[in-house]
Amino acid sequence: MAFIINVNLPQQSYEIVIGGQGTAPQVAMLPEEAAQRAIAQGAQALLIAPESIDQLGEMMSNLKLGKKVLLVSNPTIFKHYGERVLTSLEAAGFEVVNCNLSAGERYKTLNSVQKIYDTALLNRIERSSTMVALGGGVIGDMTGFAAATWLRGINFVQVPTSLLAMVDAAIGGKTGVNHPQGKNLIGAFHQPRLVFIDPEVLKTLPVREFRAGMAEVIKYGVIWDAELFAQMEASKRLDQLRYVKAELIESILTRSCQAKADVVGKDEKEAGLRAILNYGHTIGHAVESLTGYRVVNHGEAVAIGMVAAGQIAVKLGMWQKEEAERQDALIQKAGLPTKLPDGVDIEAIIEALQVDKKVQAGKVRFVLPTQIGVVTVTDQVPSDTIRQVLQEMSFKV
Ligand SMILES: NC(=O)c1ccc[n+]([C@@H]2O[C@H](COP(=O)([O-])OP(=O)(O)OC[C@H]3O[C@@H](n4cnc5c(N)ncnc54)[C@H](O)[C@@H]3O)[C@@H](O)[C@H]2O)c1
């Protein structure tokens, strides 16, 4: 069985199909053949059943793409799944070239994208060709940016392999790279033709990366889906895939993708609502970039940012302390940090907030919760409140 989620965008709607057993609210459940039919009829994005990675080529052939495919991955992920994906694409008649980039956020740079362009040039990747991202959010963001810019835009398919990329990065069409001075400062909106999720690949995802993905899932609980939040609260553990019940994993995937699809469908280019997806990211990004993308990963930084935003909301009288504590307890249950990493300078964080993409007219915008499942966006946060919260979150106090 498979799930379909509609992503309604003004110019390009698409559907997401998620494989799994049972039903999830708001998500239509389809037998696999119906999912195939949906694709054949022009559904643009698909998440499909466990062990489905071998069907990628078949699914892509329904999209009527050109013959050439540039498969972008990193050596670790390629070792696990590269051959299977190559075999599947070639069996479906695609001519595939592969470009593996160094793994890690610190390689999410224009230099790495240049390697994709070089491979594209060498192998004559054309307007009708497709770039396929096989990897986590780093590979997805860079491949999407290369696809958005190569020959002014070619087809793009996401095969997310990390939990974070499955529930967040692969959906919604934001692509880009980091500038040495700030995260994701260079980028473009470019929607994938297909998002293809095989939940089985999570089995090889390192535990720390699974936890990082849980940070974004907790984010959806706080900003959008109180029921998802409650389901996670009811789970004994959230810190490792093998301790989380299959039904909860299914709910995590479907509800998170639904939340992202709902928000992006209402506001593709972040004119307003989409900004709520940045919950926890304002301070999170500053922490990530100040530690050189080496100390905390993206999800851990978001966890720290959510704790900070929650505390700011409490101090401003916008959120009940008890609810903030419930959020922090969930973050801890997922094995994520709630304190600032050692040695991060609080004033440097406050300064770094100024180069964040979310600054408007010189004012830093914060997404702050008002109740679990509901947030608001404000630029009325005094620096002193930020400072105080960060001091309380520092190990030195
Ligand atoms: N475009 C968006 O809307 C959006 C949204 C959220 C995050 N992001 C971006 O996503 C990035 C973070 O993504 P991430 O957390 O996936 O990190 P990542 O891409 O660095 O992947 C994390 C690590 O897990 C490994 N890995 C991934 N899948 C694996 C698997 N199945 N088996 C074994 N190893 C596996 C990777 O090789 C990597 O070392 C950040 O750059 C962030 O800015 C983008």
Residue 221 is part of a domain; what is its CATH number? 1.20.1090.10
Q: Quick one: 177 and 225 in the same domain?
A: no
Whether 216 sits among the annotated catalytic residues: the reply is yes
Q: What pLDDT does 354 receive? A: 81
Confidence of residue 147 (pLDDT cuts 50, 70, 90): very high
Q: Quick one: 148 and 252 in the same domain?
A: no
Range of the domain at 280: 211-397
Confidence of residue 289 (pLDDT cuts 50, 70, 90): confident
Q: Quick one: 237 and 288 in the same domain?
A: yes
Among candidate residues 152, 236, 242, 396, the one labeled active-site is 152
Q: Quick one: 168 and 258 in the same domain?
A: no
The reply to whether ligand 1 has any atom less than 6 angstroms from the CB of 205 is yes
Among candidate residues 274, 326, 358, 365, the one labeled active-site is 274
Q: Quick one: 170 and 248 in the same domain?
A: no
Distance of CA 76 to the CA centre of its chain: 19
The alpha carbon of 319 and the centre of ligand 1 are apart by a number of angstroms equal to 31
- What pLDDT digit, counting tens, does each position of 32-48 carry? 555 455 444 444 454 54
Number of domains in the chain: 2
Q: What pLDDT does 66 receive? A: 97
CA neighbor of 261 nearest in space, from 1, 3, 2, 72: 3
Average pLDDT over residues 360-386: 90
Q: Quick one: 377 and 293 in the same domain?
A: yes
Rounded CA-CA distance 289/277 in Å is 19
Q: Distances from the Cα of 200 to the Cαs of 23, 38, 162, 321, in angstroms?
A: 18, 23, 11, 38
Q: Which atom of ligand 1 is nearest to the CA of 212?
A: 15
**Boundary residue ending a domain (152, 186, 205):** 205
Q: Quick one: 216 and 176 in the same domain?
A: no
Q: What pLDDT does 16 receive? A: 53
Q: Nearest C-alpha to atom 13 of ligand 1 is from which residue?
A: 137
Q: Nearest C-alpha to atom 5 of ligand 1 is from which residue?
A: 169
Q: What pLDDT does 20 receive? A: 36
Q: Quick one: 218 and 197 in the same domain?
A: no
Q: Quick one: 199 and 306 in the same domain?
A: no
- What pLDDT digit, counting tens, does each position of 326-344 carry? 999 999 999 999 999 998 9
The beta strand positions in the chain, using DSSP E, are 2-7, 14-19, 28-30, 68-73, 95-100, 130-135, 155-160, 174-179, 182-189, 194-195, 359-360, 363-364, 366-371, 374-378
The reply to whether ligand 1 has any atom less than 6 angstroms from the CB of 310 is no
Q: Quick one: 190 and 307 in the same domain?
A: no
pLDDT exceeds 60 at position 17? no
Q: Quick one: 52 and 119 in the same domain?
A: yes
CA distance between the termini of the chain: 52
